[in-house]
Amino acid sequence: MRYYVYILRCSDGSLYVGHTADPDQRLATHSAGRAALFTRMRRPVKLAYSEQFTDELDAIRREAQIKKWSRAKKEALVSGNLVALHEAARRRG
């Protein structure tokens, strides 16, 4: 089975991080307002980023890691800008 860590961009520009086994269904659930309260109040949401894992525990660990990151670091991950991602990590440390 495959698991995914995803980042949603909400209508107010905020980012939401989660994990799921079915990203299409989870996005539909968020979009319908039947998922997290955070996204329910900030619809519509769009999928901004996802990573695939073969082990659910690895996905959960990655989700927890990303949730601790600064907004700048999350934005760098979403945009695929590895240079900015590393710079954001250095600024924090």
Domains of the chain as residue ranges with CATH: 3-68 (3.40.1440.10)
List the one residue out of 4, 23, 9, 13 whose CA is nearest residue 63.
4
pTM of the prediction? 0.94
Which pLDDT score is estimated for 91?
78
The token pair at 1 is 């089975």
| Antiparallel, parallel or unpaired: β 3-9 and 15-20 | antiparallel
Who wins on pLDDT, 8 or 82? 8
Strands, E assignment, the chain: 3-9, 15-20, 46-53
13-42 pLDDT, tens digit per residue, is: 999 999 999 999 999 999 999 999 999 999
44-61 pLDDT, tens digit per residue, is: 999 999 999 999 999 999
